Structure 1
Amino acid sequence: MTTAYSFSSQLYIDGRRTDGDSQASLVVRNPATEELIAEVPQSSLTDVRRAVEAARRAFDEGPWPRLKPAERAAVLLRMAEEMERRLPDLVAVNIAEAGSVRPLAESLQTRVPVAHLRDMAERVMPTFAWERPMQPTVAPGIGISQGVLRREAFGVCALISAYNFPFFLSMMKVIPALAAGCTAVLKPAPATPLESLLIGDFADAAGLPPGVLNIVTGDIAAGRELTTHPMVDLVSFTGSDTVGRAVYAQASASLKKVVLELGGKSASIVRADADLDGAVRSALAGITTHAGQGCSLLTRTLVHESVHDELVARLSEGLAAVRVGDPADPATTMGPLISEAQRDKVEKLIHVGEEQGARIVHGGRRPAGLDRGYFVEPTLFTGVDNGMTIARTEFFGPVGVVIPFATDEEAVRIANDSPYGLAGAVWSADTVAAHEIASRVRAGGVTINGGSAGVNPRAAFGGYKQSGLGREWGEFGLDEYLQTKTVSWAAR
């Protein structure tokens, strides 16, 4: 098949491209057109085991964990340079396999992870406390005990990524794992393997030693092999909380460390004195960004009853202006869901919302004139009680709910009445009150009046409750891939 971009369709094991030993393949389709993009090898269990064994050898016998941080940082910078050179390919593949509209493909999906890679190599690694002295302790009759605290690579890591932000999510695992001196096996989601397979090209161009990074494909069986393999020391998984619990259980038998970045049903609290223009823009983004396929998107809008009707009217007007269609079309502002199965799930949840008495004020159907592709109109519900299924279940689709509140206490209670705790937001002219509310919301990250610009690599990303375990990004992500070792001695 000829395409307008270049991608690698082979597995990447022990520094080499390979088709593996399986006759099976994964079919990758464009979710906007349902057309075949590529067929890539589906890893057999033998392929996965070969990848794990290569990572084990590279960690136990190879140079990577024993390089100085500055030497590893130099390799990571070369990777970043190669990624920057290949950005047009990354963007084109992302639009085709993930269904991103071009502005998202050119920012969060591709450029942002490269910026995080540069930040790790240029800011975090040179200043990180890889080793620091312990405070000497005087023991009468024994002597003075002293020593150092060392941060050392955790070992072989299984990195299991998700389909919605394929390159971004894979790199948020690859970056800290490699920076720490770990070796890794990366398994992207079956629906979107192409961007992650490209990372092997970048590793080769940068001179990463063989076996340090391996990339395999597959679904449940490949994932289970990675989470249970005795040679794997750490598992990092991004996906649904249902699968996350299975990963946690599988890894527990051998007491592997587990980092989980799971789902969300994040709440935006809009007080009576809020800037409604900003709050509405944020709510629109929570519904339409990548067709709602984002774990940290703000999909529950909690609004003070005095401004409820005005916010709903503005939000409905904004949704009416959304242009749904093929993301390859520059006029498109919202693309498709990833698959027919995901569209079916979203449509069933919309139907449940109607059955439970919520009212659709916009959307709720498939867009007219789009006979191919996995599209759903951006949809808004009002008349929602926080106990309803649509207020508690993650759609992973372009659906938002609006819930009124009377007091700040009620708003915080509703926001926290969720099994999830990934993100949140507060909108208010009273920033002191907003800060107090933010401190009471049980979530890993809360923004006030829109927060800071962009995806800040100095922030810590992760969730409370069923939204996961551990943190990603910057030094917080790096810390997850390190062990702490005490080396002590007596001064006589």
Structure 2
Amino acid sequence: MTTAYSFSSQLYIDGRRTDGDSDASLLVRNPATEELIAEVPQASLSDVRRAVEAARRAFDEGPWPRLKPAERAAVLLRMAEEMERRLPDLVAVNIAEAGSVRPLAESLQTRVPVAHLRDMAERVMPAFAWDRPMQPTVAPGIGISQGVLRREAFGVCALISAYNFPFFLSMMKVIPALAAGCTAVLKPAPATPLESLLIGDFADAAGLPPGVLNIVTGDIEAGRELTTHPMVDLVSFTGSDTVGRTVYAQAAASLKKVVLELGGKSASVVRADADLDGAVRSALAGITTHAGQGCSLLTRTLVHESVHDELVARLSEGLAAVRVGDPADPATTMGPLISEAQRDKVEKLIRVGEEEGARIVHGGKRPAGLDRGYFMEPTLFSGVDNSMTIARTEFFGPVGVVIPFATDEEAVRIANDSPYGLAGAVWSADTVAAHEIAARIRTGAVTINGGSAGVNSRAAFGGYKQSGLGREWGEFGLDEYLQTKTVSWAAR
């Protein structure tokens, strides 16, 4: 298990590195080579409880919630500086444990979350209305009252992240929680714990007080302990809608606040007058980015019947040019799925699509010559009806479907006929018509002609329906980790 990068493989509890009190461990494998790259401690339930207790002490007795926002912002900026210094390590670990191709590893996976952290400390926190005065109110026969609305940290937060964007998704929870003055226990996905464990190094380097951020590993039992522990006030979870419902139910017994960022089956509406070059590039990205392992990727392409065949032909041609292979190879443009189990799931859904009558235009198999690693060909289905399983189920793999429509009304109906509502897109030369369609699609974000807030910190990220509850990024994410307290008094 020799590596060209450094990482911390221990748990991080109460400001200290520890192997925990269990002999169990998690084996981290490179999904492109199946090579064992790290062995990290598997946190026991007692380790998780110690982490929660440390976070509780740090919130109830420590300085962090009582610091001025500017003081917390200074610590977060020091964390950002340390992350920037260690970016080569983060990139290398991401390629090895998550299977990202290098351009993705160097951008969305690592640099973007650091930019979000800087934005929180430099823009959001200084301008945020932490205390809002109430206008004096005259109560006849009683007097005049006045007061202030205070925004205060929610408390101890359980932050449960997903495997596909390990550092990015963890930081989208850690950033607003710490900015708000909360304390936290972070649990990364078992398949990709290394980048999240590194965050403990950044916390130490920045001088974060002990117990403010704790990082433990674990799977179902550790997650259940975090979502049910009486000392936890808020749970933020990113993952599948199936697990999200379980998290929601577990947290409900103690009425914890829950923020859920879940799945998607996002639709791109391509009108007859669309720029097909741009629409095709977008659809290709929706299928191939991180091998389709992204909740907000555009995997349903709804195209006007007059340009349907041309778009399908162009998509098929584009997919044929994709280079599938080891992401450590600069020539690779699409890497592996995270595990054998995930590949099996994708292959099973592809078979279901064929059985239901859809037609594979490209792909559908494991790539020839790649005997090791969890690879799949990028796959495109046509002849798809929106009632089919492959049009309604999230693959979380490199598979896209094309569905024709005749009118804008039909396109909106198909786009909204989904249990999910996370992202969407509209392509049209008529920007007024495109905006009208975007306004009618029931989803958390819609882009028009490729113009996008993207991962801009000023955007709000989150979904409708079974895509989740709450929002992340910038001031919208910060707001989820704050309570509002009314303090009032009589004017004399």
TM-score between both structures, scaled by the size of structure 1: 1.00
2:152–2:180: 8 Å Cα contact kept in structure 1? Answer: yes
Deviations 1:168-224 (A, max 9, x none): 000000000000000000000000000000000000000000000000000000000
Residue 340 of structure 1, CA deviation: 0.1
Q: What residue in structure 2 maps to residue 117 of structure 1?
A: 117
Tell me the distance in 1 between the aligned counterparts of 2:3 and 2:193: 16
Residue 141 of structure 1, CA deviation: 1.3
Residue 454 of structure 1, CA deviation: 4.1
Matches within 5 A, 1:115-264: 115-264=115-264
Deviations 1:89-148 (A, max 9, x none): 000000000000000000000000000000000000000000010121111111111100
Tell me the distance in 2 between the aligned counterparts of 1:92 and 1:453: 27
Tell me the distance in 2 between the aligned counterparts of 1:411 and 1:145: 54
2:110–2:167: 8 Å Cα contact kept in structure 1? Answer: yes
2:453–2:459: 8 Å Cα contact kept in structure 1? Answer: no
Residue 428, structure 1, aligned to residue 428, structure 2: yes
Residue 452 of structure 1, CA deviation: 2.6
Deviations 1:459-481 (A, max 9, x none): 00000000000000000000000
CA separation of 1:477 and 1:453: change in aligned 2, threshold 3 A: closer
Tell me the distance in 2 between the aligned counterparts of 1:356 and 1:384: 9
How many residues are treated as equivalent by the alignment? 492
Tell me the distance in 2 between the aligned counterparts of 1:399 and 1:85: 37
Residue 17 of structure 1, CA deviation: 0.1
CA separation of 1:453 and 1:139: change in aligned 2, threshold 3 A: closer
Residue 451 of structure 1, CA deviation: 2.1
2:446 match: secondary structure: strand
The more displaced of 59-68 and 454-463 is 454-463
Deviations 1:442-461 (A, max 9, x none): 00000001123641100000
Tell me the distance in 2 between the aligned counterparts of 1:166 and 1:298: 20
2:149–2:487: 8 Å Cα contact kept in structure 1? Answer: yes
Q: Structure 2 stretches of 5 or more lacking a match?
A: none
Tell me the distance in 1 between the aligned counterparts of 2:468 and 2:454: 22
Tell me the distance in 2 between the aligned counterparts of 1:384 and 1:108: 31
Deviations 1:348-382 (A, max 9, x none): 00000000000000000000000000000000000
Q: What residue in structure 2 maps to residue 485 of structure 1?
A: 485
Residue 370, structure 1, aligned to residue 370, structure 2: yes
Q: What residue in structure 2 maps to residue 444 of structure 1?
A: 444
1:445 match: secondary structure: coil
1:136 match: secondary structure: strand
1:317 match: secondary structure: helix
Residue 254 of structure 1, CA deviation: 0.1
The more displaced of 454-463 and 473-482 is 454-463
Tell me the distance in 2 between the aligned counterparts of 1:7 and 1:428: 47
Residue 2 of structure 1, CA deviation: 2.1
2:324–2:333: 8 Å Cα contact kept in structure 1? Answer: yes
Tell me the distance in 1 between the aligned counterparts of 2:57 and 2:466: 35
Q: What residue in structure 2 maps to residue 70 of structure 1?
A: 70
Tell me the distance in 2 between the aligned counterparts of 1:394 and 1:281: 21
Q: What residue in structure 2 maps to residue 468 of structure 1?
A: 468
Deviations 1:414-465 (A, max 9, x none): 0000000000000001111100000000000000011236411000000000
2:135 match: secondary structure: coil
2:263–2:295: 8 Å Cα contact kept in structure 1? Answer: yes
Tell me the distance in 1 between the aligned counterparts of 2:241 and 2:455: 23
2:182–2:212: 8 Å Cα contact kept in structure 1? Answer: yes
Tell me the distance in 2 between the aligned counterparts of 1:137 and 1:304: 58
Deviations 1:385-425 (A, max 9, x none): 00000000000000000000000000000000000000000
CA-based RMSD of the aligned residues comes to 0.5
Tell me the distance in 1 between the aligned counterparts of 2:256 and 2:132: 26
Tell me the distance in 1 between the aligned counterparts of 2:427 and 2:149: 43
TM-score between both structures, scaled by the size of structure 2: 1.00
Moved over 3 A (4+): none
Tell me the distance in 2 between the aligned counterparts of 1:82 and 1:292: 31
2:397 match: secondary structure: coil
1:476 match: secondary structure: helix
Tell me the distance in 1 between the aligned counterparts of 2:135 and 2:430: 44
Deviations 1:303-357 (A, max 9, x none): 0000001100110000000000000000000000000000000000000000000
Tell me the distance in 1 between the aligned counterparts of 2:61 and 2:311: 61
CA separation of 1:454 and 1:443: change in aligned 2, threshold 3 A: closer
1:402 match: secondary structure: strand
Tell me the distance in 2 between the aligned counterparts of 1:7 and 1:183: 23
Q: Structure 1 stretches of 5 or more lacking a match?
A: none
Residue 35, structure 1, aligned to residue 35, structure 2: yes
